[in-house]
């Protein structure tokens, strides 16, 4: 058994966002073989019972409050511009995290430092350097949820506003350099899709990147029973402060939904997700569109959904909402980018459509073709049980850890 330090940018519980799902089940798996200490940034809405749940899995959970304000954002922007760092990386340079790592490394000997997401990669290296002052340097693992430079570049290419596009291009260039530096500094870098592995290989030729997909727990989550009989309802679920989700929802509402309503005038579009920006909230002016914000229990919305849509045109890694949707038994329509990196069968367990007309036609099929709707629900659930259960797939992590431990003389 190895003592592992895991670092997360978001508290990995409850499981209401993709990054949390990845980190949570990775934490669950690592804790079956190792003694894991979790250090995580926390926000004001992270409750004590969330921490207590994680303490039931980990040897210790150490929260570090993260503060957001307009003044801090301006300072981060200035620091990022002067240093060449991405602004969102500079924003999370929190003295409390540095102090926590310095104290912890002086008191404990860790064999592995496991940084979750690129945003925590710098902190993982800080932890390793601090540890080396008191004993052997721990081996380092970086779990890349996305090839971030590629995500940033795609977002900049789709930004219609000139000023924002220039800023986003600058961030994409900064991320490319930062990401290249970080992956070269780690002993092993995990990715969630083969597409991410290929993208990172362009930054670090000769490096290998084990592909371990994001997984869920279908053994513990039953499919949601469809409550037929209400108006045809189209559901989107996802954190609404993530720009690709915002862009995708706006595209669906403005370009796809009007086409759907020509064939299904009673159709409704329901948008569920935390912190929707003003432009998404404004969609609710249409009586056929509902914007809920964050909901503690999405089950009623899932039960009412005739179709579950993933209208993304920018992104990287895996869209956990598709894997979750299969687990819940949802019939889904996605863009090709939305389904990128996920093993799927178009027409059998999901419908894939690229442009507005095709996406509308696929959505209408799910609203009007009960047989197809039912087949996709059943097939999707079977697919996630076979391919995306964490208890089976995350055994691949053991081989990575064992190889690193052997190389470092930890076993």
* pLDDT tens digits along 170-223: 888 988 999 999 999 999 999 999 989 999 999 999 999 999 999 999 999 999
| 369 has pLDDT over 80 | yes
What is the full DSSP assignment across 24-47?
Answer: HHHHHHHHTTSEEEEEEEE-TT--
**CA-to-CA distance for 150 and 206, rounded, in angstroms?**
19
Each residue of 140-177: pLDDT tens digit?
Answer: 999 998 888 888 888 788 777 877 778 778 888 988 99
What does pLDDT average to over the chain?
A: 92
| 253 has pLDDT over 90 | yes
**CA-to-CA distance for 113 and 108, rounded, in angstroms?**
12
Each residue of 45-103: pLDDT tens digit?
Answer: 999 999 999 999 999 999 999 877 777 777 766 776 777 788 788 888 889 999 999 99
Measured CA angle at 131 (ends 130, 135), to 5 deg: 135
| 35 has pLDDT over 60 | yes
| 124 has pLDDT over 80 | yes
Domains in the chain: ranges and CATH: 3-214+390-408 (3.40.50.2000), 233-387 (3.40.50.2000)
- Give the CA distances from residue 321 to residues 12, 120, 308, in Å, rounded to whole numbers and listed in that order: 16, 23, 9
Q: Lowest mean pLDDT of 65-79, 244-258, 389-403, name the range.
A: 65-79
Each residue of 289-331: pLDDT tens digit?
Answer: 999 999 989 999 999 999 999 999 876 667 889 999 999 999 9
| 357 has pLDDT over 60 | yes
128 SS3 class: helix
- Which residue would you say has higher pLDDT here, 41 or 150? 41
- Output the pLDDT for position 409: 66
Task: Extract the tokens encoding 140.
Answer: 């380092």
- Output the pLDDT for position 316: 65
Measured CA angle at 13 (ends 145, 179), to 5 deg: 20
User: CA 297, 311, 220, 398 torsion: positive or negative?
Assistant: negative
Asked whether 374 and 408 are in contact (CB, 8 A), the reply is no
- Which residue would you say has higher pLDDT here, 262 or 404? 262
């Amino acid at each position: 058994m190895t003592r592992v330090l895991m670092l997360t940018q978001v508290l990995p519980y409850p499981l209401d966002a993709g990054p949390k799902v990845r980190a949570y089940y990775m934490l669950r798996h690592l804790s079956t073989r190792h003694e894991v200490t979790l250090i995580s940034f926390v926000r004001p809405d992270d409750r004590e019972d969330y921490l207590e749940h994680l303490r039931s899995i980990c040897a210790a959970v150490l929260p570090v409050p993260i503060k957001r304000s307009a003044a801090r954002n301006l300072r981060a922007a200035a620091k990022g511009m002067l240093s060449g760092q991405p602004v969102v990386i500079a924003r999370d340079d929190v003295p409390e995290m540095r102090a926590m790592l310095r104290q912890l490394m002086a008191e404990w000997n860790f064999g592995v430092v496991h940084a979750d997401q690129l945003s925590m990669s710098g902190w993982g290296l800080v932890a390793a350097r601090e540890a080396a002052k008191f004993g052997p340097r721990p081996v380092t693992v970086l779990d890349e949820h996305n090839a971030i430079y590629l995500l940033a570049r795609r977002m900049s290419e789709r930004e219609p506003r000139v000023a924002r596009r220039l800023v986003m291009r600058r961030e994409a260039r900064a991320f490319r350099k930062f990401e290249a530096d970080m992956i070269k500094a780690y002993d092993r870098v995990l990715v969630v899709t083969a597409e991410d592995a290929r993208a990172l290989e362009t930054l670090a030729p000769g490096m290998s990147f084990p592909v371990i997909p994001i997984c869920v727990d279908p053994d513990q989550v039953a499919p949601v029973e469809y409550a037929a009989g209400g108006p045809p309802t189209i559901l989107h679920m996802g954190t609404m402060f993530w720009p690709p989700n915002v862009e995708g929802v706006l595209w669906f509402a403005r370009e796809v939904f009007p086409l759907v309503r020509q064939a299904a005038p009673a159709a409704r579009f329901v948008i569920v997700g935390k912190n929707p920006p003003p432009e998404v909230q404004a969609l609710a002016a249409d009586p056929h569109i509902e914007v809920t914000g964050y909901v503690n229990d999405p089950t009623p919305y899932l039960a009412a959904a005739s179709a579950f849509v993933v209208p993304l045109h920018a992104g990287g890694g895996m869209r956990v909402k598709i894997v979750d949707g299969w687990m819940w038994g949802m019939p889904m329509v996605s863009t090709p980018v939305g389904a990128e990196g996920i093993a799927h069968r178009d027409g059998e367990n999901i419908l894939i459509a690229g442009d507005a007309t095709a996406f509308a036609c696929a959505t209408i099929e799910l609203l009007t073709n009960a047989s197809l709707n039912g087949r996709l629900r059943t097939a999707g659930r079977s697919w996630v049980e076979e391919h995306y259960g964490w208890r089976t797939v995350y055994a691949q992590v053991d081989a990575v850890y064992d190889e690193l431990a052997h190389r470092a003389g930890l076993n």
